[in-house]
Amino acid sequence: MADDLLHEVLRAARDHGPAPALTGAHGPTLTYRDLSEKILGTAHRLRHKGFRPGTRMLFSVRPGPDAIVLALGTVAAGGTVVFIDPGVGPELFAGRLDLAGPGWAAAESLLYAASAPGPLRALARRRGVLLPDYAALPLRHIRSGPWLPGTPLRAISTRRLARPVPGATTPDPDPDQDAVVVFTSGTTAAPKAVVHTRGSLGAALRALATRCALGPDTRVHTDQMMLGLPALVAGAHWTMPPHGFAPSADPAALAAGLAGATHTFLVPADLAAILDSGVTLPHSLRQVLLGSAPVLPPLLTRAQRALPEVELLAVYGMTEILPVAIATADEKIVHGGDLLGRPLPGVTARIAHDGELRVSGPNLCRGYLGEAPLTEHATGDLARLDGDRLVLTGRKKDMILRGRTNIYPGLHEPAIAGLPGVAAAIMVGVPDEIGDERIVLVLTALPDAGPGLADRTRTALPGLIDASALPDRIVVVDELPVTGRLRKVDRAALRARFTP
């Protein structure tokens, strides 16, 4: 049978019934049997209250056990979960709402209260957050958390939905059912959303669970579904930090939360902050997955010295297809460039005539909402094949035009980041007075870098990178700007900062 998100989770529940499955930041722990009963109970009650197969549900519930149960219960009822951020601004929210065409909405009680006309909404507006009046949406409503003023009186409680129902039936396999919609980009006039099926998600979860050696003897500590759901598929114990917790802001709290954990996920910036802090991570850790931004050899070399018993895995993928490839720290360090690794089993990768990496496989999304199905995904990344391994060389949109030369920062940044004293290196193009682009190399320094890093780097560059890519200006900053929940380097902000 083809992979199926729902059946992968429910199969694990049958196999590991009394074992711990999911623990929120403040407890309690759900066993696999509890999890299964709550998912099936939610699906049963949703159908009883008129939820129909094919219905889409707007979903604005923070990561936690209630959110996981409701999301999987919605899929079990035949529906599709539409992840949406109500704080994106009224025009973009309206565009996304119109594209999604939902029949139901699920949100935190606090969100209902903060978005209703009144003092809380005014406070949010003063802080720059323009929330839609969630309760006024002409939809059926579900609330997570206690009832608060502003919450629709008839909103259904997630806790009541999830009560076990004796004899609740397991839904039939349906890998082609739309399961999740995730908005990724697009303008207010033309928003863009990725649609994953039960089958594409099931294939992704199975691939990660297998490669990461997840099983009943492992505990995953993360708020990221891309690692937490594979843990549930494999019979592992998934524990979650408090919502909004930022590892780089409190490395000691991260270390405390990881006590007893075998696996976690970090973005490179968080790993760097932990290494800088000197905090010791628990000896129980076996694997740390890294992703959402380039994972370069200098950082991995530092991490291996601090965590010699931990396997560091750099995961390459995107919303449309995850994972594509995984490389170990040893592989990336030996290679020296931005090695992505070998495509995972079932994933097909090819390099188009313009150098763009295109990928496909059973974990590829169905496509974009309202558009034709995809047969492969154009990643926007430039890559080459080194034998059977993929090596990233840059981003198509990051290309810098100087004179008649096309300069791809990804070809040079890994080498520059390997220079003594350099923690990270980003090259951006800024327009000059005649419309050409000047290259600004932005560096962050390691704690022991000492003074004169920009001058030492400028001296070393001619023997390291192509003459055509030598920067016009080198600056050292305390930290690189980041954007989004996954804290990717914000190149646009750097361009704006250094544009005259």
Residue 364 · residue 377 · CB < 8 Å:
yes
CATH 3.40.50.1950 fits 5-197, yes or no: no
pLDDT of residue 486: 56
How many angstroms from the chain centroid is the CA of residue 172?
29
As a 3-state breakdown, the chain gives helix, strand, coil percent values, each rounded to 5, of: 35, 30, 40
Q: Which residues pair with 237 in a beta bridge?
A: 219
What tens digit of pLDDT does each residue of 4-25 get? 999 999 999 999 999 999 999 9
DSSP summary character for residue 136: G
pLDDT of residue 166: 92
pLDDT of residue 1: 43
Distances (CA, A) of 228 to 137, 212, 235, 263, 445: 31, 12, 11, 10, 33
Decide if 5-197 and 246-396 have a common fold. Answer: yes
pLDDT by residue, tens only, the chain of 500 residues: 468 999 999 999 999 999 999 999 988 899 999 999 999 999 999 999 999 999 999 999 999 999 999 999 999 999 999 999 887 778 888 999 999 999 999 999 999 998 888 877 777 676 666 688 999 999 999 999 999 999 999 999 999 999 999 989 899 999 999 999 999 866 666 788 999 999 999 999 999 999 999 999 999 999 999 999 999 999 999 999 998 788 888 899 999 999 999 999 998 878 988 998 989 999 999 999 998 877 888 889 999 999 999 999 999 999 999 999 999 999 999 997 789 999 999 999 999 998 999 999 999 999 999 999 999 999 988 899 999 999 988 777 777 877 667 787 887 888 899 999 999 999 999 986 555 688 999 999 999 999 999 999 999 998 888 777 899 999 999 999 987 655 778 888 999 999 88
What tens digit of pLDDT does each residue of 274-327 get? 998 989 999 999 999 998 877 888 889 999 999 999 999 999 999 999 999 999
Q: How far apart are CA 347 and CA 377, in angstroms?
A: 11
Could you tell me which CATH number the domain at 246-396 has? 3.40.50.12780
Structure tokens at 4: 């199926």
Structure tokens at 477: 């900053």
Residue 220 · residue 205 · CB < 8 Å:
no
Distances (CA, A) of 133 to 85, 195, 199, 394: 13, 26, 35, 42
Q: Is 81 helix (H, G, I), strand (E, B) or coil?
A: strand
Q: How far apart are CA 208 and CA 326, in angstroms?
A: 9
Q: How far apart are CA 316 and CA 281, in angstroms?
A: 24
Determine the angle formed by the axes of helices 5-15 and 225-234, rounding to 10 degrees.
Answer: 50
- Please, which contacts does 218-223 make with residues 24 or more away whose CB atoms are closer than 8 Å? 218/262, 218/263, 218/286, 219/260, 219/261, 219/262, 219/263, 219/284, 220/261, 220/262, 220/263, 220/264, 221/257, 221/258, 221/261, 221/263, 221/264, 222/263, 222/264, 222/265, 223/63
Q: How far apart are CA 440 and CA 473, in angstroms?
A: 5
Q: Which amino acid type is present at position 383?
A: A
Q: Which amino acid type is present at position 210?
A: T
Domain ranges of the chain: 5-197, 246-396, 399-498
Could you tell me which CATH number the domain at 399-498 has? 3.30.300.30
Residue 234 · residue 218 · CB < 8 Å:
yes
Comparing C-alpha atoms, which of 239, 183, 243, 238 is closest to residue 215? 238
Structure tokens at 354: 């313009």
Residue 269 · residue 220 · CB < 8 Å:
no
Residue 291 · residue 317 · CB < 8 Å:
yes
CA-based diameter of the chain, in Å? 73
Q: How far apart are CA 61 and CA 243, in angstroms?
A: 11
Output the CA angle 97-45-52, nearest 5 degrees.
45
Q: How far apart are CA 500 and CA 483, in angstroms?
A: 22
Q: How much is the CA Rg of the chain, to the nearest whole Å? A: 24
Q: Model pTM?
A: 0.84
pLDDT of residue 395: 76
